[in-house]
Amino acid sequence: MLKSHLPLVYLCLYLGFISAERDYDFMTICPRVGCMKGRYMNGFQTSEFEAYMGIPYAQPPLGHLRFKNPVWKPRWRHVLDATKPKPDCLQKNYLLPNPIVYGEEDCLYLNIYRPVLRAGLLPVMVYIHGGGFFSGSASPSIIGPEYIMDTGQVILVTMAYRLGPLGFLSTGDWNMPGNFGLKDQHMVLKWIRNNIESFDGDRTKVTIFGHSAGAVATHMHLLNPNSANLFQRVISMSGTANVPFAITKEPLKQARKMGELCGVPNAKYINTADLASSLREVDASQIVNAGDSFKCWDVDPLTIFRPVVEPPGPDSIIPDTIDKLMKSIYYQRRPWLLGFVPDEGAVRAVNLIENVTLLNQFNSDFACLFEELMEWPERYTEDEKKQKTGVLVTEYFKNDWGIKQSNKQGIMDSISDRGFKHPLYKTVKYYHTIKGGNWFYQYLFKFSYKGPFSYASLYTEANVTGKYGVVHGDELLYLFRSPLLFPDFDKKSTEAKVIDIFVTYIVNFARFGYLVDVPRTNYYCTKELLDQRDDGICDYHEFMNSYIKGFDMKVNYRFPTAKVRLWQELLDEKM
């Protein structure tokens, strides 16, 4: 990200996307919910496509609807102006240096983009943005539809959903059940089922896809028995439902602390109905800002307000622990594409390495802070946590209790392996072995192409251009145009070629439920094949740099299973 863009980020996200394109004629469409007026937008390599933005899918979650499951938006009688997106959901983005509160509590809106030329019903792709469940945007200035619309093959839907405490605070009972952000997403999927045919979308060919926390959410919907038949394919990039930051263990304790921070009288002891009612009276920005007081050090843990396990019911999203759901008969069998990048841990590691003040603070209490960063399960005693942390220091830091130039990759790799790669490996193994999945397909890809821009520059104020490899979020540079964050690629560049191939790869999976026109992999992945591969998992595609062609896609099967086995031993897990 260019540093000159940083002061504009919050302002532009708040004000929404204002196009610099020339004026176009408007067009009107009338699904079940009511008529709306959209507009045309320009593609990246192709001509225009249609955009319908800022469509309300639920009642504004204000007042008595705060901390409650979303409520359907009634049919409107006027012609809705759907030519501009709405502001992002209220949030404090701890991924950015010097985070501030911005956005609106009234934010349950979605955007729909479709090709101008359509022959029959088109497959539908529904994107769930990332951001640790506390931040993120569906704005076309961040999640630009141009690359996907260039294909002319699908309809794209992006959505906003409640974030942070407004999306995930819970009392652990029906008075404030939690998972509101996930339930917002679930309502969008129902909205699509009811309305997408009016946009020439095929309700029987819906693909949900997401990145980071959005990928975690896609996996959670896959595990949710109440989401059956709402989608047919899944794409999860850099996140699965079993990541360490996925679940809040003590939601009521967290809710009572929030009450105290917000001045709710006797918040420690009042009944949960009164606690929830009182919190609905507090200024929304005060609630979001109160999240600072839940941090142990600096911005850690990054994700404070997380999904929770709910009692089973028609409105629940997570009716049991993730581990049990992953072994359940209700684990939906859907074609599934999972992706990862080499340095996922950059989302936290880059600023630790680059910010001298933070680095010195972290090293001054390295044993404690690194242990907290690894988020050991609560079942371990303090002595067990210390012993296991010591093993990690030996493996990742060359037995040096501190981050130095000689071992700085250790903090990157330890966060990558703990937070992303071990959960991914476990997910793949479960899907093929626990479920006996010899008759449905699961695919894996690794995005290793390094271009001129990187999300690493977003995670710190330091100038890190070209300093890091392919980090958490970098694949998004070639899936969505982000004019607010990064300059456009030249239309004849190698990066434009990467966009074309990568987007086609993703879109074709959404169209067909399998990969086409790519190097062949042994996708018929069985337990027997997995057991034969000591140093890898089933074949996967890798997008990478090429000295000859600039870019290439090859088949690989090597995965960091040595570190995976280490984590399985440390977490006392058997596959």
Question: What confidence score (pLDDT) does residue 260 get?
Answer: 98
Question: What confidence score (pLDDT) does residue 530 get?
Answer: 63
> Would residue 512 count as lying in a domain?
yes
Task: Locate 453 and state its tokens.
Answer: 């821009």
Instruction: List all residues 6 or more positions away from 29 whose beta carbon is below 8 Å from its beta carbon.
Output: 35, 36, 38, 52, 198, 199
Question: What confidence score (pLDDT) does residue 148 get?
Answer: 98
Whole-number Cα distances in Å, 377 to 383, 568, 573: 13, 13, 12
Cα 305 to Cα 165: distance, rounded to the nearest angstrom: 6
Whole-number Cα distances in Å, 19 to 2, 12, 104: 20, 12, 21
Question: What confidence score (pLDDT) does residue 47 get?
Answer: 86
pLDDT digits (tens, 9 = 90+) for 424-465: 988 988 887 655 454 457 889 999 999 999 999 999 999 999
Question: What confidence score (pLDDT) does residue 526 get?
Answer: 59
Exposure string for 229-252, b = 16+ CB within 10 A, e = fewer: ebbbbbbbbbbbbbbbbbbbeebb
What's the domain range around 67? 1-244+293-355+407-575
Whole-number Cα distances in Å, 159 to 54, 138, 162, 406: 9, 6, 10, 43
> Would residue 49 count as lying in a domain?
yes
> Would residue 282 count as lying in a domain?
no
DSSP 99-136: --EESBS---EEEEEEESS--S-EEEEEEE--STTT--
Question: What confidence score (pLDDT) does residue 171 get?
Answer: 97
User: Quick one: three-class SS letters along 440-496?
Assistant: CCEEEEEECCCCCCCHHHHCCCCCCCCCCCCECCHHHHHCCECCCCCCCCCCCCHHH
> Would residue 544 count as lying in a domain?
yes
Total structural domains within the chain: 1
> Would residue 373 count as lying in a domain?
no
Task: Locate 48 and state its tokens.
Answer: 């225009």
Cα 277 to Cα 273: distance, rounded to the nearest angstrom: 6
Cα 553 to Cα 469: distance, rounded to the nearest angstrom: 17
Given a cut of 50, the residues of the chain with pLDDT beneath it are: 1-24, 436, 438-439
Cα 229 to Cα 208: distance, rounded to the nearest angstrom: 12
pTM: 0.94
* Number of continuous H segments (helices) and E segments (strands) in the chain: 18, 15
Cα 484 to Cα 140: distance, rounded to the nearest angstrom: 9
Q: Which CATH number fits the domain that encloses residue 45?
A: 3.40.50.1820
- Strand duo 48-56 + 109-115: pairing: antiparallel
pLDDT digits (tens, 9 = 90+) for 159-178: 999 999 999 999 999 999 99
Map tokens 């679940």 to a residue.
247
Q: Which residues are catalytic?
A: 212, 344, 472
DSSP bridge pairs for 36: 29, 80
Cα 13 to Cα 18: distance, rounded to the nearest angstrom: 10
DSSP 372-420: HHHT--TTS-HHHHHHHHHHHHHHHHTT-SS--TTTTHHHHHHHHIIII
The strand ranges marked E within 189-260 are: 201-211, 233-237
Question: What confidence score (pLDDT) does residue 573 get?
Answer: 78
53 φ, ψ to 5°? -120, 155
One-letter amino acid for residue 461 of the chain: E
Sign of CA dihedral 251, 254, 260, 262: negative
> Would residue 367 count as lying in a domain?
no
State the DSSP H helix or E strand holding residue 322, giving kind and residue range, or none if neither: helix 322-326
Whole-number Cα distances in Å, 163 to 133, 177, 240, 321: 6, 15, 18, 21
> Would residue 67 count as lying in a domain?
yes
Question: What confidence score (pLDDT) does residue 430 get?
Answer: 81
> Would residue 526 count as lying in a domain?
yes
Q: Which residue pairs from 298-302 have beta carbons closer than 8 angstroms and sit at least 24 positions apart in sequence?
A: 298/358, 298/361, 299/94, 299/99, 300/348, 300/369, 300/372, 300/373, 301/245, 301/372, 301/375, 302/94, 302/95, 302/132, 302/134, 302/245, 302/347, 302/348
| Exposure of 173 in the CB half-sphere (CA atoms within 13 A) | 9
Q: Is 179 left (phi over 0), alpha (psi -120 to 50) or beta?
A: left
